[in-house]
């Protein structure tokens, strides 16, 4: 291993994608004076309706990246409860008092992903302009590496829609694919191989203004349990903005056909059973949902992180949080290697550990979260589901609930324990917890849920 006086072992990293994972990775690297070039296919940042909530483990990374004050300023001030309701009669089955952590810096973050990305981008430009070069209209077509394994490259199509495109090969010491679920970097490595499953439903997401929420005393996050109308209804922004998401269990319709069914879903799900002229919908996006993971997060000098490597269904808010933990861990590995506190093999450790965590914990738990709202019997689930039993117990003891909401999750991992000297900090556990007790599982799950 080199000493810290020698030239750093690598100089240039190309990050594919200016989504939350790509920009967050660039910021964390820039804090350690490691430069990166972020290549984004589109001329703009993504504004589709996707994530809105990021559990405590992600908040800890946002804090570390210096982003948290701006996220909090843009967010709604209070997020008082999370509850699970039966759609059939609107009955609250189990509820958690989130006010016990409302003064805690590391409490869950609630903010639409579009705002998160814009704030991250502003930090890239205003605070780290010397280290981060974000280039829009740079679509990666393919990624690869030279035969000797000394350099990685991407073939990029450059230019916006109105101009003739040019093509360029760009080289770097490492390429990191943060280019989302349709990742070109992943496809260069594994083709169409992306083991996992696609769920039989269409996931319909919309921003909604409806005064019936307040009138009927709804607040915070409401998981809706029903085989036909499952989903999440949550307060998300200033001025009475709510996010309504539901899964339509019918497959194979056109977008227009799904939208024609929306008033029926809304009438069933929303309090007061409103007709379509009683609410206003501001934006809608539709998705297929999947749980999938690549065979490896690293091939030579090409690494994958976040949605480019794995996806899971959105019920429970695991995915972007896991994305943040991936790039937080990867940043630590690059920093340790760059500062000669670890050898290059720490990048292999990243690849193994983060994949292992997805397969062991995130995949299974996110499917349980989905099953809880879409498959469970709404009339018996509050008695039969162990998770609800734990929550009911915790509701009896405020301090226990607080500890539970803030606890270190088994999906967190501090790669700095692999540095030569052991500069362990910030109280985050170094071990992937091996315990799979029901309580641990529930705690990890709840940190992520709204």
Ligand X SMILES: Cc1cc2nc3c(=O)[nH]c(=O)nc-3n(C[C@H](O)[C@H](O)[C@H](O)COP(=O)(O)OP(=O)(O)OC[C@H]3O[C@@H](n4cnc5c(N)ncnc54)[C@H](O)[C@@H]3O)c2cc1C
Mask for 113-152, x = binds ligand X (CB under 6 A): x-------------------------xx------------
Residue placing its CB nearer to ligand X in the complex, 59 or 382:
59
Q: Point out the residue whose Cβ comes nearest to ligand X.
A: 19
Q: Supply 390's token pair.
A: 């734990």
Mask for 64-103, x = binds ligand X (CB under 6 A): ----------------------------------------
**Least distance (Å) between residue 156 CB and ligand X:** 8
Residue placing its CB nearer to ligand X in the complex, 34 or 154:
154
- Binding ligand X by CB under 6 A: which of 97, 179, 414, 441? 179
For position 109 contacting ligand X by CB under 6 A, the verdict is no
- Binding ligand X by CB under 6 A: which of 28, 205, 394, 442? 205
Indicate the DSSP class of residue 100: G
Site for ligand X in 301-320 (CB under 6 A): 306-308, 314, 317, 319-320
For position 184 contacting ligand X by CB under 6 A, the verdict is yes
Buried b (16+ CB within 10 A) or exposed e, 327-366: bbbbbbbbbbbbebbbbeebbebbbebbbebbeebbbebb
Q: Which residue has the tokens 């077509």?
A: 141
Residue placing its CB nearer to ligand X in the complex, 120 or 342:
120
Of 185, 203, 199, 177, the closest CA to residue 49 belongs to: 203
**Least distance (Å) between residue 245 CB and ligand X:** 6
Residue placing its CB nearer to ligand X in the complex, 112 or 349:
112
Mask for 235-264, x = binds ligand X (CB under 6 A): ------------------------------
Q: How are the residues of the chain apportioned to helix, strand and coil, as percentages rounded to the nearest 5?
A: 35, 25, 40
**Least distance (Å) between residue 421 CB and ligand X:** 32
Of 133, 138, 118, the closest CA to residue 45 belongs to: 118
Those residues with Cβ within 8 angstroms of residue 184's Cβ, 6 or more apart along the chain or in another chain: 16, 139, 140, 141, 142, 143, 177
Q: φ, ψ for residue 444 (rounded to 5)?
A: -60, -40
Gap between the Cα atoms of 274 and 277, Å rounded: 8
- Binding ligand X by CB under 6 A: which of 13, 21, 206, 372? 21
Residue placing its CB nearer to ligand X in the complex, 244 or 376:
244
For position 180 contacting ligand X by CB under 6 A, the verdict is yes
**Least distance (Å) between residue 298 CB and ligand X:** 16
Gap between the Cα atoms of 159 and 137, Å rounded: 5
Please work out the total of residues on this chain that contact ligand X, with binding judged by CB under 6 A. 37
Site for ligand X in 343-402 (CB under 6 A): none
Gap between the Cα atoms of 45 and 284, Å rounded: 17
Site for ligand X in 41-70 (CB under 6 A): 41-42, 46, 50-54
Of 346, 340, 338, 342, the closest CA to residue 298 belongs to: 346
20-31 vs 319-338: helix axis angle to the nearest 10?
30
For position 231 contacting ligand X by CB under 6 A, the verdict is no
Transcribe 7-59 into DSSP letters: PPS---EEEE--SHHHHHHHHHHHHTT--EEEE-SSSS---SS---EE-HHHH
- The secondary structure element, H or E, covering residue 260 is helix 255-269
Sheet holding 152-158, edge to edge: 138-145, 152-158, 166-172
For position 22 contacting ligand X by CB under 6 A, the verdict is yes
- Binding ligand X by CB under 6 A: which of 14, 15, 18, 34? 18
For position 293 contacting ligand X by CB under 6 A, the verdict is no
Task: By CB under 6 A, name the binding residues for ligand X.
Answer: 16-22, 39-42, 46, 50-54, 113, 139-140, 178-180, 182, 184, 203, 205, 287, 306-308, 314, 317, 319-321, 323
């Amino acid at each position: 291993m080199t000493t810290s006086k020698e030239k750093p072992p690598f100089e240039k990293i190309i990050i594919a994608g200016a989504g939350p994972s790509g920009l967050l990775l660039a910021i964390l690297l820039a804090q350690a004076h490691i430069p990166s070039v972020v290549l984004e296919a589109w001329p703009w940042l993504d504004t589709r309706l996707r994530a809105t909530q990021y559990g405590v483990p992600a908040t800890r990374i946002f804090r570390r990246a210096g982003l948290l004050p701006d996220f909090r300023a843009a967010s709604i001030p209070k997020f008082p409860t999370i509850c699970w309701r039966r759609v059939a009669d609107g009955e609250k089955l189990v509820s958690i008092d989130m006010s016990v952590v409302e003064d805690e810096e590391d409490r869950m973050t609630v903010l639409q992903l579009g705002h998160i990305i814009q704030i991250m981008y502003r930090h890239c430009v205003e605070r780290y302009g010397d280290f981060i070069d974000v280039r829009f209209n740079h679509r990666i077509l393919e990624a690869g590496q030279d035969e000797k394994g000394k350099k990685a490259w991407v073939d990029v199509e450059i230019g916006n829609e109105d101009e003739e495109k040019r093509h360029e090969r760009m080289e770097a010491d490492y390429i990191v694919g943060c280019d989302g679920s349709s990742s070109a970097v992943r496809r260069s490595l594994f083709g169409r191989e992306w083991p996992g499953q696609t769920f039989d439903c269409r996931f319909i997401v919309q921003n909604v203004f409806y005064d019936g929420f307040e009138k009927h005393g709804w607040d915070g996050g409401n998981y809706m349990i029903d085989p036909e109308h499952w989903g999440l209804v949550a307060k998300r922004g200033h001025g009475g903005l709510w996010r309504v998401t539901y899964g339509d269990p019918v497959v194979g319709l056109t977008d227009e056909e799904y939208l024609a069914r929306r008033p029926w879903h809304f009438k069933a799900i929303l309090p007061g059973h409103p007709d379509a002229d009683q609410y206003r919908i501001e934006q809608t996006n539709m998705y297929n949902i999947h749980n999938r993971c690549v065979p490896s997060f690293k091939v030579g000098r090409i690494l994958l992180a976040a949605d480019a490597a794995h996806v899971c269904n959105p019920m429970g808010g695991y995915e972007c949080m896991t994305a943040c933990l991936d790039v937080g861990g990867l940043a630590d590995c690059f920093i340790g290697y760059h500062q000669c506190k670890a050898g290059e093999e720490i990048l292999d450790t990243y690849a193994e550990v983060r994949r292992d965590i997805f397969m062991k914990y995130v995949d299974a738990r996110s499917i349980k979260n989905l099953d809880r709202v879409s498959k469970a019997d709404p009339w018996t689930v509050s008695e039969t589901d162990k998770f609800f039993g734990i929550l009911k117990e915790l509701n009896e003891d405020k301090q226990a609930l607080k500890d539970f909401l803030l606890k270190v999750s088994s999906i967190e991992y501090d790669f700095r324990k692999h540095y030569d000297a052991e500069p362990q900090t910030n109280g985050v556990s170094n071990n992937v917890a091996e315990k799979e007790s029901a309580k641990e599982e529930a705690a990890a799950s709840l940190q992520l849920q709204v």
